Structure 1
Amino acid sequence: DHTQLNAVEARANSTESELLYCQEQAHGLQQNLDQECEHSRSLSVELQQSREHCAALKADLQEALGKLQRVLNDRASLQSEIDRLHGDLDKARDSECSTALPL
């Protein structure tokens, strides 16, 4: 009877040791989980900041493209004006030459 009691106590002690070990493991896992959650939150904030930065860069790029388009349009207008003035100059030269021809 005494031996049986010792065996039960030994099993109880063993079970208690296992329980303590499991609690320590659970505590460690909870700490790891907390760290991973914090890391995840940090990455989420970083991702949001990156998205905002990309949106700002996109807006800057669109503005720059708009300015470039206006410059190209101005250049095309100026080129057509230059071409027209060259044409007028050629006509004026032709007209001067035809009036300056000897009789």
Structure 2
Amino acid sequence: MLNPGEQWQTYRHHGEPLSLDYRLRFRCDSNYYGPFCNKFCRARDDFVGHFNCEPSGSKVCMEGWTGPECQEAVCRQGCHQVHGSCTAPGECK
């Protein structure tokens, strides 16, 4: 089994008249991650979300954003939880 990665793996096939040495590596397409290259993650910084992608393909929220899709702004410290709100990180309305 050959897992995706940057490391080359060397294989050797021995036969009667000859031997064959070869190196292989399997790389996922851009924005695809995981052992089967089936986890999609593309960094965003727009209305869809504000996140980067870890080497595993997990989303990591940019500073000032939270939530599953990193769409919720983190309000300024001290912003009232009931009567305050924000649409951008660090503000309070």
TM-score bin, normalised by smaller chain: under 0.3
More strand by share: 2
- Which of 1 and 2 has greater Rg? 1
Kindly indicate whether structure 1 or structure 2 has the higher relative contact order, using CA contacts under 8 Å at least 6 residues apart. Answer: 2
